[in-house]
Amino acid sequence: MKLRSNLSKFTILLILFCILTAIVGAQNLEDRVVEHTLENGMTFLLLERHQAPVFTGMIVVKVGSIDESIGKTGLAHMLEHMLFKGTKTIGTRDFAAEQPILERIDRVGTELSAELIKAERADEQRVKALREEIKKLQAEAAQYQVKDELGALYSKHGAAQLNASTGNDVTRYYVSLPSNRLELWAMVESDRMANPVLREFYSERDVVMEERRLRVETNPFGALYESFLAAAFLAHPYQRPVIGWSSDIAGYVADDARAFYSEYYTPSNTFVAIVGDIDVEDTIGLMERYFGPLPKRDLPPRVGTLEPAQKGERRVVVEQDAEPQLLIGYHKPTLPHHDDFVFDAIDSILSRGRTSHLYKKLVKELKLVASVSTWQGTPGARHDNLFVIEATPRSPHTPAEVEAAIYGEIERLKTEPVSESELQKVRNQIYADFVRRLDSNFGLASQLAYFQAVAGDWRYIVQAMREIDKVTVEDVQRVASKYLTRENRTVATLVRKSAEPAEGER
C-alpha cells in the first residue's frame, strides 16, 4: 500500500515526462522515415540507421490466406515457398533449355494432383508411376539448374534472418545483409517480383505437407488453434488455416500458384521497408532503377465477406494425446476503430507481466494455471478479428475451473474501474516498447512495411501510441461490457484422448 501512494505521487510527473519524451521519439521517427512511391504504385519506406554497416530489406505483399478461394486453401503459403526457387536468371544455367522440361513436369504434375485428391480412392500404382516420372524429368531439368541458387546467393553474401512468412493477411520476404549488398538485394528481389520460375513444385508441395504435419497434425496446440478459428468464424476467411487443409495441398497444380501470383503480386500491392546503413537518396535511385520497370497493374480483388454478429456461445473440443489447454475468443473490430486501441490497453491490463489481472488471480492466487496470456487482434488485422485468452491449466484443475475463474476476472473488468495508475503503467509500457523497437533494423522494417500494408499508413505506429494514451477508465469498462460477453465468445478445449471427461469438463 505504501508503494501505491508513492507511485501516485510520481504519476503526474511521469505522465508529463512520458508524453514529452514519447512525442520527441515519435516526432523523430516521423521526420526520419522517407516515403517514396514509384510510378507503378510500389511503396518504399526508407530509414537511415548507421550503427553498423548492415540493413534489413522487408517486402510485404498484401496477400494472405484470406485471399484464397475455397478448395485452394494454403496457396498463398505454397507460393511463398515457391518464390525461393529462382528466376529466369537465378537458379538456371540455360533457361531456354530448361523451360520445356519444366512444362512437361507441370503436365505430369497436374495428372498427379488429380489422382492425389481422390485420397483413399487414389490409384497407388499410378501415383507411384507419376512421381517416378516427375523425378526423371526433374533429373533432366537439373542439368540446366543451379540448385537453390537464390538462397545460396544471399548466404554467401552474408545474409542473416533470410526467410519469408505467410499469414492470414500478408506475406513477407525478408533478409538482412551487409550494407554493401543493397544493390544485390534490389537486383534479386526485383527479379523475384518480375520473373519467378516455379521449379520443383511437386517436391516442394510434399515439403509443405510435412510442414502441416509438423505444425498442426502432430502438434496438439496447432490442432486446437485450427479448430478454434474454424469455429469462431462462420463466414469470414479468417476461419481457414494459413497452411491449408491437407486435401487442398494435395490438389494444387503449378498453374494455381501462377494465377494467384499474377493476381496479387502487383507493384501497388507491395510495400517495402529498407532500414539500416543506407543513403536515402542513393537508395531511391536504385529502387527506381530495379523496381521502376515493373508494369503498373490493377489492384487485386479484396475480400468482401463480413462475419455476421455472433448469436450465442460456440464450444469445440479437440482430443489429443496431451494435457489440457484452453482458448477463449471474442469478436471485436479491427484498427483503426477506437475500441481496438482500448483492447490494446485491456490486453496489457489482463495479462502483461506479473501484476496483470489474470496472472495475479489465476497464477499467483488460485494457482489454477501454469500460464495465461491474451492475444490482441487474432488472427489478423485487415478485418474484424478476435481478442483471445489462452490458458494452460495446472493439474488437477480442469479447463472448466479455469474458464470460470477467467470469466470472474472479465466480470470484474466490467464492474470495477481499473485504477488510473494501471492505465499509466500501460502507457509507460507502450512507450517503452516503442523505444525498444527503434533499436533494431529488422523490428523497424517489419513494423513500417506491415502497417503501411495493413493500416494504409506506417504512421499508425506513432498514432497508436497517442490513441492508447487517450484510453480512459470508462473506455475499458465500456469495451469490456460490449464485447467480452457469453454470446460473443468461442471456447476451444484440448482434452486428453480417450480420457474420461472430468466432472464439469464438458
Partner 1 sequence: MNFKKSHIRLCLCLLSAIMAAQCATQQPARHPDDLKIRQLTFNPPEAERVVMDNGMVVYLLEDHDLPLFDAVAYFKAGSIYDPADKLGLAGLTSSVMRTGGTDSMTGDEIDEELEFMAGSMEVSAGREAAVATLSVLAKDMQRGLEIFSDVLRNPLFAEDKLDLAKKRSIEGIRRRYDTPGSTIAAEFPKLVYGENSVWARLPTEETVSGISREDLVRFHERCFMPNNMIIGISGDFDSSELTPRLEKLLGDWSPRDPALPRIEPIEPSFVQSVNYIHKEINQSNIRLGHLGIRRHNPDEYAVEIMNYVLGWGGFTSRLWIEVRSDRGLAYSVWGGMRSGTDYGLFEAGCQTGAGTTCEATELIRDVIAGMTEAPPTDEELALAKDGELNSFVFNFTSSAQIVQKRVDLEFFGYPLDYLDTYEEKIAAVTGEDVHRVAKKYLHPDKFVILVVGDAAGFDKPLSTFGDVTTIEVPRAGEPAIVQ
Grid coordinates representing 42? 510500389
Contact, 387 vs 332, CB < 8 A?
yes
Based on the shown chain and the rule CB under 8 A, indicate whether residue 208 belongs to the binding site for partner 1.
yes
Q: How many CA atoms lie within 13 A of 401 on its CB side?
A: 17
In angstroms, what is the minimal distance from the CB of 332 to partner 1?
25
Applying the rule CB under 8 A, the residues between 147 and 166 that interact with partner 1 are 147-148, 150-160, 162
Based on the shown chain and the rule CB under 8 A, indicate whether residue 353 belongs to the binding site for partner 1.
yes
Applying the rule CB under 8 A, the residues between 385 and 404 that interact with partner 1 are 392, 394-395
In angstroms, what is the minimal distance from the CB of 233 to partner 1?
26
By DSSP bridging, strand 43-48 and strand 270-276 are: parallel
Pick from 317, 330, 397, 316: which is nearest to 362 by CA? 397
Question: 316 or 438, CB closer to partner 1?
Answer: 438
Grid coordinates representing 24? 520527441
In angstroms, what is the minimal distance from the CB of 391 to partner 1?
12
CB burial of 35-73 (b: ≥16 within 10 Å; e: otherwise) equals eeebebbbbbbbbbbeeeebbbbbbbbbbbbbbbeeebb
Specify the stretch interacting with partner 1 by CB under 8 A; choose among 108-116, 329-337, 364-372, 379-387.
364-372
Query: How far is it, in rounded angstroms, from Cα 219 to Cα 217?
Result: 6
**Number of residues near partner 1 (by CB under 8 A):** 81
Based on the shown chain and the rule CB under 8 A, indicate whether residue 240 belongs to the binding site for partner 1.
no
Specify the stretch interacting with partner 1 by CB under 8 A; choose among 181-189, 297-305, 327-335, 479-487.
181-189
Specify the stretch interacting with partner 1 by CB under 8 A; choose among 68-76, 107-115, 291-299, 430-438.
430-438
**Helix 460-469 vs helix 441-454: angle between axes, to the nearest 10 degrees?**
80
Q: Which of 181, 192, 331, 489 binds partner 1 (CB under 8 A)?
A: 181
Whether the upstream peptide bond of residue 100 has omega within 30° of 0, thus cis, is no
Applying the rule CB under 8 A, the residues between 80 and 99 that interact with partner 1 are 84, 89-90
In angstroms, what is the minimal distance from the CB of 289 to partner 1?
8
Applying the rule CB under 8 A, the residues between 259 and 288 that interact with partner 1 are none
Based on the shown chain and the rule CB under 8 A, indicate whether residue 247 belongs to the binding site for partner 1.
no
Q: Which of 203, 247, 305, 419 binds partner 1 (CB under 8 A)?
A: 203
Q: Which residues lie closer than 8 Å to 416 by C-beta, 6 or more apart?
A: none
Applying the rule CB under 8 A, the residues between 18 and 37 that interact with partner 1 are 21
Applying the rule CB under 8 A, the residues between 306 and 325 that interact with partner 1 are 321-323
Q: Which of 40, 310, 421, 472 binds partner 1 (CB under 8 A)?
A: 421
**Cβ of 161: how many Cβ atoms within 10 Å?**
12
Applying the rule CB under 8 A, the residues between 98 and 127 that interact with partner 1 are none
In angstroms, what is the minimal distance from the CB of 402 to partner 1?
12
In angstroms, what is the minimal distance from the CB of 124 to partner 1?
11
Q: Which residues lie closer than 8 Å to 215 by C-beta, 6 or more apart?
A: 222, 243
Residues, the chain:
506
Based on the shown chain and the rule CB under 8 A, indicate whether residue 345 belongs to the binding site for partner 1.
no
Chain-centroid distance of CA 330 in Å reads: 19
Based on the shown chain and the rule CB under 8 A, indicate whether residue 214 belongs to the binding site for partner 1.
yes
**Cβ of 219: how many Cβ atoms within 10 Å?**
15
Based on the shown chain and the rule CB under 8 A, indicate whether residue 132 belongs to the binding site for partner 1.
no
Query: How far is it, in rounded angstroms, from Cα 364 to Cα 371?
Result: 10
Based on the shown chain and the rule CB under 8 A, indicate whether residue 477 belongs to the binding site for partner 1.
no
Pick from 256, 294, 257: which is nearest to 272 by CA? 294
Based on the shown chain and the rule CB under 8 A, indicate whether residue 77 belongs to the binding site for partner 1.
no
Based on the shown chain and the rule CB under 8 A, indicate whether residue 433 belongs to the binding site for partner 1.
yes
DSSP H or E run through 55? strand 54-61
